[in-house]
Chain A
């Protein structure tokens, strides 16, 4: 049995994927896709590099998500995405994943080989990463038959400090924030104090208040912080699907019946405009106090 890990240059993902590979058993090697990612060329090269593998594991970045089903198809295998658990049962690969916007979970059994899986890498306890990842070798001229595409411009959002998926503390705002000002004047100062990353619900992103890269949820980023502070977020299951791996959820919401309180460990029922400034003040005082001790 051979496992191949495909990495798009992310250390944390590598450990999670290595952990998943250990659960499946067998020998593991890793391929690092570095440099100029181009969809069709990278896919062609990966098809060649992955021949003979039984299981191919990818993380949950956008490149992995778009490559995985196509890689499976070219190799005659099957793809399962967004896995949070893997197992081998009677020789077959099984993947646990959320469905119906996080309202249910399913166990999916792969019926072709290779199994090409993209996983929420942070959901897996780290394994001993393969000693060294071999860099993907490319031969751009090798296949001229197929039409291609070209990524001609890459724009990295200025607000992105580190990957949201790797954040330990996240401050997130929803529809109830009411506009970009609430994010800028109330939530961002709080995030700064805590060294936290900013995030948002789909409603806030769709409204254009914050960049789409902030979106957390079923169709946004899947995060796994130690602390997730959900401010004015109702907590629809589609949002919860993105934070199911968060260790501590704090909810600040004016509506006591908001579903978010069913998932939160700590909560305050009140207007965030009142709570957040006070919270910043108290945290500053606590910080000063700690400092003196």
Chain B
């Protein structure tokens, strides 16, 4: 089974609000002293892929620094990595770039993305990628099982070490989170799945040795021009601002708080 995991490098979302600055004219966040990290849902996606087994390619679209995201993916034991050099763009552009790269790198049975990114949080990459590739899409998944030789194979975290799943699976079963609980979805590959976080897909910590090895592995490199992706209209960010909040917290004792809570709930 061949899996591609689309991954994005972003400004560390943990940067405290007091250190967060924006460039209002360029309508983007200032890098400042914040570090760059891999979007957490992309790491959840890679972890889910590693647990499902198969041959995994990590793919990113981003500036030179995004190579770090691929090196970390390789250290987590992705088998190959590809970098499309370029920057920015609306969700449709990103999906078109990724789709073009996937056509060159594929074929793949499973295409994974994170459910959304921790910077702009548009949450559209996986869905638009599915449309660009003409594939079905299952969103907000946290577990993937593959049907092989007549039986369902549970993702158990061990499969990545073995090459147990070599052949295209005949069916894929996805567990996904919904507002009320979860759903089980069955599908035939190929398909796109967007991944959310759960207790069982917390990204593994790579071994030091694997981190060092990852720096020696070759990357497949593309540019947006090579892929032949032309800019298209979609949407524009016309304003970006940090909201000013004027909340003053009134510190109370338990009696005072009980009184306030009783007042608020009595008015409902």
Contact = CB atoms under 8 A, between A and B. Distances in A.
Which of A100, A264, A286 gathers the greatest number of chain B CB atoms within 10 Å? A100
A169 B196 CA distance: 27
A147 B245 contact: no
B136 A100 contact: no
Nearest to A241: B121
Interface in A207-240: 207-208, 211-213, 218-219, 221, 226-227, 229, 236-238
Interface stretch (A17-25, A101-109, A125-133, A174-182): A101-109
Contact of B179 (A62, A100, A152, A275): A62
Given A69-B124, A227-B265, A259 B257 contact: no
B139 A213 contact: no
A133 to B, nearest CB: 19
B235 A62 contact: no
A149 B180 CA distance: 20
Contacts of A103: 17, 20, 242
A237 B237 contact: no
A134 interface: no
Interface stretch (B62-70, B75-83, B211-219, B246-254): B246-254
Contacts of A1: none
B181 interface: yes
Nearest to B16: A259
Given A94-B238, A112-B234, A262-B247, A155 B181 contact: yes
A43 to B, nearest CB: 9
A194 B261 contact: yes
B226 interface: no
Interface in B30-85: 41
Contacts of B14: 236
A109 B236 contact: yes
A248 B254 CA distance: 17
Nearest to A89: B238
B235 A40 contact: no
A287 B262 CA distance: 8
A218 B247 contact: no
A275 B254 contact: yes
The winner among A70, A154, A236 for most chain B CB atoms within 10 A is A70
Interface residues of A, number: 90
Given A194-B261, A265-B249, A111 B236 contact: yes
Contacts, number: 248
Interface in B204-250: 233-243, 245, 247, 249-250
Contacts of A81: 122-124
Interface stretch (B149-157, B161-169, B184-192): B184-192
Contacts of B140: 62, 66
A104 B251 contact: no
Contacts of A165: 179
A238 B13 contact: yes
Contacts of B128: 69-70, 73
A269 B249 CA distance: 11
B265 A65 contact: no
Given A104-B241, A206-B197, A110 B261 contact: no
A132 B86 CA distance: 48
A213 B183 contact: no
A111 B235 contact: yes
B190 to A, nearest CB: 8
Contacts of A62: 139-140, 177-179
Nearest to A194: B265
Interface stretch (B1-9, B100-108, B111-119): B111-119
A273 to B, nearest CB: 13
A149 B186 contact: yes
Contacts of B122: 80-81
A264 B252 CA distance: 12
A263 interface: yes
Given A108-B238, A263-B247, A268-B257, A283 B262 contact: yes
B240 A104 contact: yes
Nearest to A110: B235
Q: Which of B122, B243, B261 has the most CB of A within 10 A?
A: B261
B234 A78 contact: yes
Given A78-B234, A250-B257, 4 more contacts: A62-B140, A106-B239, A206-B198, A238-B118
5 contacts: A69-B124, A82-B121, A147-B187, A154-B178, A213-B177
Pick the 3 closest A-B CB pairs, nearest first: A282-B258, A107-B239, A66-B139
Interface of A: 39-40, 61-63, 65-66, 68-70, 73-74, 78-82, 94, 98-101, 103-112, 146-157, 160, 163, 165, 168-169, 194-195, 202, 205-208, 211-213, 218-219, 221, 226-227, 229, 236-238, 248-251, 259, 261-269, 275, 278-279, 282-283, 286-287, 290
